[in-house]
Structure 1
Amino acid sequence: MIRLLLVVAALFGATGVMAQDFPNKSITVVVPVPPGGVVDLAGRLAAEALAGELKSSVVVDNKAGASANIGATYVAQAKPDGYTLLASYSLYHEVNPLLFNNLKWRPESFVPIGRVVVTPSVVVVHPSLPVHSLKEFVDYVKKNPGAVSFASQGTGSVAHLGSELLKQDTGIEMVHVPYKGSGPAMQDLVAGRVQFFITAPPAVMGYVQQGRLRALAIAGSERHPMLPEVPTSVEQGFPNFQLNPWVGLFAPADTPDAVVRKLAAALEKGLTQPKAIESAKAAGASVSFQSPQELAKTVAQGRAYWAALVKAANIKIE
């Protein structure tokens, strides 16, 4: 019995020493997408925040591919010591396990450190459609079922799931046209080959200002500073049509609690710096920290929410 108590005490002592000594080498933040875009931005904001507060080297490693599953798998299988972290987009984290068979990771493979940013979405249409509000759009599609096509960055993307959410909420019918990324989707939208798209405000602001696209709504409850004249979906009477994607920072499961707390505290403090706030704002996002406990609840709620939609809309990876 005494030997067992000594072993337990030694383990707790080792964990305490590890947390006190952490970090004593470079930390890596894995971004599971290519450089550029809001996920990469959030990963770099998190890295800068940690580096500044922990006085340690923090590097960003872009491990892109397989709808972010390569990077997620890498971190899930890393040593749980706090030195290898994942910047994860909410839809990758919550929806990929619903769509991909034989994943080598699950949401339970990670422990949350904290949310970094939220990324509002804007609904845009080609100006050839005779609509100027979300209600007019819904009414038009109801009168012309199947005549409107919506673009997405691929199955399970925010544009895909958001469009399915609007369809489910209003009973309208649209044709899904998936693309390999936002670039080609945007090209066909501006050309009028598809008519409807959901994306981040910075991607369409110039086209909207030039009159080449028309913004109908911000899919949420707050207007966006880049498009302040565009009303929200809630303002227009569609309270169920809200999209609030986020990017958070995660560590492998079994990372010591003391290390997670130290990382979370550094992330929270670092994200209050004006540079972090302005960088997020310039990318159309906003810094919005959540604690590990809060982010865990957010993930659980998101998984349940999207699981219901994926089942109802029969969404599958082709």
Structure 2
Amino acid sequence: MTIREASQVSKHTPARRAVLRAVAAGATALAVPGAFSQTWPAKPIRLIVPFVAGGGADATARLIAGKMADRLGQQIFIDNKAGGNTIIGVQDLKRAAPDGHTLIWTMDQTFVLNPSLYNKLPYDPVKDFTPVALAITSPITVIGSTRPGDAQTIQEVVQRAKAQSGTLNIGSAAILAHIAQAEFAQLAGIDATRITYKGSAEVAQGLIAGDVNLVFDGLAPYVQFVKTGRARILAVTSSKRFGALPDVPTLDESGYKGMDLSVWFGFAGPAGMSSAIAQRLAQEAEWAVRQPDVIEKLGTFGFEPAAAISPAIMAERIVRDGQRYAPVIRKLGFKLD
């Protein structure tokens, strides 16, 4: 399949303004009087994690929640509700009381990608939730192999792709990685064949086996191959260099302007949760992710703290990413139902 040019959506459309107002209102609306007091949290907090136990999403949730619990003075216990691209866990949160004692730790998939991937989604990503804290981010990494003759820089990859049109095979698995390579191909002015895999482990093996020339993926599955000299990290898709890879350039600084795309994880609550609770949780999340030991551990998973953390920032990011990714998903033809 050839990656084609993706259409762009104005940041100032009436629809975007309307959605932004709705999300911002949800982030700041107060619950009924008396719902929040100095005694909150009055009991342990249930944190829904819509991913399997033991994976990276679960590990980061436990790491950050453990730090927050110390400051809040109440246990935060993890409730893994995996399945349906986070939909099962999200529906559980939707039914919860908005008293600040049930939260979710989830990713952009829930609020940004699922609305474009499903024709019938059993929740409204704006109306049914209270944004709390976009806490950590991870760029998509662009990785090549180190076989003799393989490109050593992203510029060399593009030069070869232009000189030998149609010969560049790019592997990826996650939806956001597909979007990243589509945007890159558009900016670079190249044609590339998109090779779709079921998961990152298969993508990594495809690169090492020589089935693809380049991959767009998260960092973690490739660390072992980079250490043993079998893979080379060429670039990251974020606007700024990734803290754990200070010597790796961004695609933007490599000449592909406007390339700024990252996976993110954060906290949210049910609709109607007090803004005072949301603000307190955001403050504690920000403190937690900026602790040196947390930063170090996050780096091993390919994540770093978000630049700034607040309910309003998360609300804005949901709208901005949704407006940006929806037309690309339509162009690529992805649907999950």
- TM-score (ref. length: structure 1): 0.86
Q: Contact 1:47/1:58 (CA < 8 Å) preserved in 2?
A: yes
Per-residue CA deviation, residues 181-232 of structure 1 (Å, 9 max, x unaligned), is 2112212221112222122333213312322122211223333344443222
* Counterpart amino acid of residue 46 in structure 2: T
2:310 is the counterpart of 1:291 = yes
Specify which of 129, 137, 141 is matched with residue 110 of structure 1. 129
Partner of 1:43: 61
Per-residue CA deviation, residues 155-203 of structure 1 (Å, 9 max, x unaligned), is x2x2211111112222322222222221122122211122221223332
In 2, the alpha carbon distance for the partners of 1:105 and 1:41 equals 26
In 2, the alpha carbon distance for the partners of 1:232 and 1:188 equals 24
* Counterpart amino acid of residue 145 in structure 1: S
Higher Cα Rg, which structure: 1
Specify which of 121, 132, 135 is matched with residue 155 of structure 2. 135
In 2, the alpha carbon distance for the partners of 1:195 and 1:316 equals 26
Partner of 2:227: 209
Q: After TM superposition, list the pairs within 5 Å mapping 1:220-299 onto structure 2.
A: 220-288=238-306, 289-299=308-318
In 1, the alpha carbon distance for the partners of 2:198 and 2:333 equals 21
2:327 is the counterpart of 1:308 = yes
- CA RMSD in angstroms comes to 2.4
* Counterpart amino acid of residue 222 in structure 1: K
Partner of 2:185: 167
Pick which of 101-110 and 42-51 moved more. Answer: 42-51
Partner of 2:172: 152
Identity of aligned residues (%): 30
Structure richer in helix, relative to its length: 1
* Counterpart amino acid of residue 153 in structure 1: A
Structure 2: which 5+ residue stretches go unaligned?
Answer: 1-29
2:49 is the counterpart of 1:24 = no
* Counterpart amino acid of residue 276 in structure 2: A
Runs of at least 4 residues off by over 6 Å: none
- TM-score (ref. length: structure 2): 0.82
- Distance change (3 Å), C-alpha of 1:209 and 1:304: same
2:136 is the counterpart of 1:120 = no
Per-residue CA deviation, residues 12-56 of structure 1 (Å, 9 max, x unaligned), is 996335433322222111111223444323322331233111100
SS of residue in 2 equivalent to 1:20 = coil
Partner of 1:85: 103
In 2, the alpha carbon distance for the partners of 1:209 and 1:50 equals 33
Structure 1: which 5+ residue stretches go unaligned?
Answer: 1-11
* Counterpart amino acid of residue 146 in structure 2: P
* Counterpart amino acid of residue 137 in structure 1: V
**Offset of 1:262 from its aligned partner?**
2.8
Equivalent pairs, count: 305
SS of residue in 2 equivalent to 1:220 = coil
- Distance change (3 Å), C-alpha of 1:316 and 1:141: farther
